[in-house]
């Protein structure tokens, strides 16, 4: 088992290496002057008193070897990365590493509230749907699930925003109200332990801020989770239906076990096997693109919104930073799923 985990973890640096190398090869057709803006660590405007002459640019290009072949530039860049320098983000106006550290908690908070309820509620509803196969409850749940995976995230987000903000005025967009923002970012009044506003508010014993942060989180979380919820519920339902037809379920019922034990212990445990392998990686993939779109719809200042701005403004180092984090997330979740798999399906052995 340990050997398996280590082998899988070794895959991650390989993937990072491949993605970054690919990026450098794609940068090759650009000229050295276009590249100069992307790969230097200091803000050129500040470093040269706001005036950059052609000779100075030329000197910069030579200093950082931007006119050299892609491979040589890549080795140079890798060396810097090992020293903890991921480059300068034009959009965030700070080093990429700092920008990520600043924005990651917001996205993490969104993902945290979106993933856990989704998995639990979707599985629960999927089981309900299967147990009440072809009854009104099943039809209702299937209707919501089929509309769920047909409504694009951005359309759904705009619809809920229109209803809950435009008409009802309950849940505003953004991450915090203006008054709350002033308190949260004021170090004398508020200590930011984790960067997750809801948790920090509890730790600071500021329930008004907790409520404000929650109010801003509800719609993005709903939007981000609806699509995944619909997919996961569908897979659970069909897998559960398949399982409930098996002979051992009949045997379990014949033994006189209660329906609850039959469904949860004999049914669900077996039904979870395809759910974990197929659905969880799909959900993570959906969430990554979903988080970018959701943050854009709700103007929620997290990593996804920053990456879209970065993409639109040719801020390659920033996008690359986001991509490496996203890739790590995917690889690590897949690993976690494979480990969980051993506990869900005792027949699986990795050694």
**Residues in the site for other proteins, rule: CB under 8 A?**
11, 15, 18-19, 22-23, 26-27, 30, 146-147, 149-155, 158-159, 161-162, 165-167, 231, 234-235, 237-239, 241-242, 274, 278, 282, 285, 288-289, 292-293, 296-297, 307-308, 310-312, 314-316, 319-320, 322-323, 326-327, 330-331
- Residue among 89 and 197 whose Cβ is closer to other proteins: 89
Task: Report angle CA 193, 110, 181 to the nearest 5 degrees.
Answer: 55
Q: Is 234 exposed, middle or buried (0-12, 13-18, 19+ CB in 10 A)?
A: buried
DSSP string, 55-113: HHHHHHHHHTTTTS-HHHHHHHHHHHHHTT---EETTTTEEHHHHHHHHHHHHHHHHHH
How far, in whole angstroms, is CA 294 from its chain's centroid?
Answer: 11
Contact indicator for 191, 334 with CB cutoff of 8 Å: no
- Residue among 210 and 300 whose Cβ is closer to other proteins: 300
- Residue among 187 and 312 whose Cβ is closer to other proteins: 312
DSSP string, 315-342: -HHHHHHHHHHHHHHHHHHHHHHHHHHH
**Smallest separation, CB 38 to other proteins (Å):** 9
**Smallest separation, CB 207 to other proteins (Å):** 28
- Residue among 76 and 253 whose Cβ is closer to other proteins: 76
**Smallest separation, CB 87 to other proteins (Å):** 13
- Residue among 144 and 314 whose Cβ is closer to other proteins: 314
Strand partners, 88: 95
| Helix (H), strand (E) at residue 34 | helix 32-36
Rg (CA), the chain: 25
Separation CA 154–CA 294 (nearest Å): 7
Strand partners, 95: 88
**Smallest separation, CB 34 to other proteins (Å):** 10
Q: Is 281 exposed, middle or buried (0-12, 13-18, 19+ CB in 10 A)?
A: middle
**Smallest separation, CB 332 to other proteins (Å):** 12
- Residue among 18 and 42 whose Cβ is closer to other proteins: 18
**Smallest separation, CB 82 to other proteins (Å):** 21
- The widest CA-to-CA distance across the chain, in whole angstroms, is 87
**Smallest separation, CB 152 to other proteins (Å):** 6
- Residue among 142 and 192 whose Cβ is closer to other proteins: 142
Separation CA 128–CA 142 (nearest Å): 11
**Smallest separation, CB 197 to other proteins (Å):** 24
Contact indicator for 131, 239 with CB cutoff of 8 Å: no
- Residue among 127 and 316 whose Cβ is closer to other proteins: 316
């Amino acid at each position: 088992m340990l050997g398996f985990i280590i082998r899988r973890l070794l895959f991650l640096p390989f993937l990072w290496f491949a993605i970054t190398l690919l990026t450098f090869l794609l940068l090759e057709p650009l000229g050295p002057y276009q590249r100069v803006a992307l790969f230097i660590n200091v803000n050129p405007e500040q470093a040269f008193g706001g005036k950059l002459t052609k000779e100075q640019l030329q000197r910069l290009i030579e200093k950082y070897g931007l006119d050299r072949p892609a491979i040589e530039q890549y080795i140079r860049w890798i060396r810097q990365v090992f020293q903890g320098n991921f480059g300068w983000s034009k959009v965030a106006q700070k080093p990429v590493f700092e920008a990520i550290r600043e924005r990651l908690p917001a996205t993490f908070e969104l993902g945290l509230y979106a993933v856990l309820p989704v998995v639990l509620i979707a599985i629960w509803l999927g089981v309900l749907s299967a147990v009440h196969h072809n009854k009104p409850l099943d039809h209702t749940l299937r209707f919501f699930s089929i509309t769920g995976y047909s409504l694009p995230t951005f359309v759904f987000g705009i619809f809920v925003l229109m209803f809950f903000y435009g008409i009802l005025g309950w849940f505003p967009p953004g991450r915090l109200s203006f008054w709350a923002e002033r308190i949260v970012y004021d170090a004398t009044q508020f200590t930011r332990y984790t960067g997750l506003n809801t948790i920090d508010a509890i730790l600071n014993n500021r329930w008004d801020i907790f409520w404000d942060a929650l109010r801003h989180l509800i719609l993005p979380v709903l939007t981000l989770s609806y699509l995944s919820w619909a997919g996961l519920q569908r897979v659970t339902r069909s897998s559960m239906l398949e399982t409930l037809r098996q002979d051992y379920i009949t045997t379990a019922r014949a033994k006189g076990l209660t329906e609850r034990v039959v469904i949860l212990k004999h049914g669900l445990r077996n039904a979870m096997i395809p759910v974990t392998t197929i659905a969880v990686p799909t959900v993570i993939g959906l969430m990554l693109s979903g988080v970018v779109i959701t943050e854009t719809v709700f103007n929620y200042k997290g990593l996804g919104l920053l990456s879209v701005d970065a993409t639109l403004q040719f801020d390659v180092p920033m996008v690359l930073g986001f991509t490496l984090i996203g890739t790590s997330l995917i690889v690590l979740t897949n690993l976690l799923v494979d480990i969980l798999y051993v506990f869900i399906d005792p027949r699986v052995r990795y050694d």
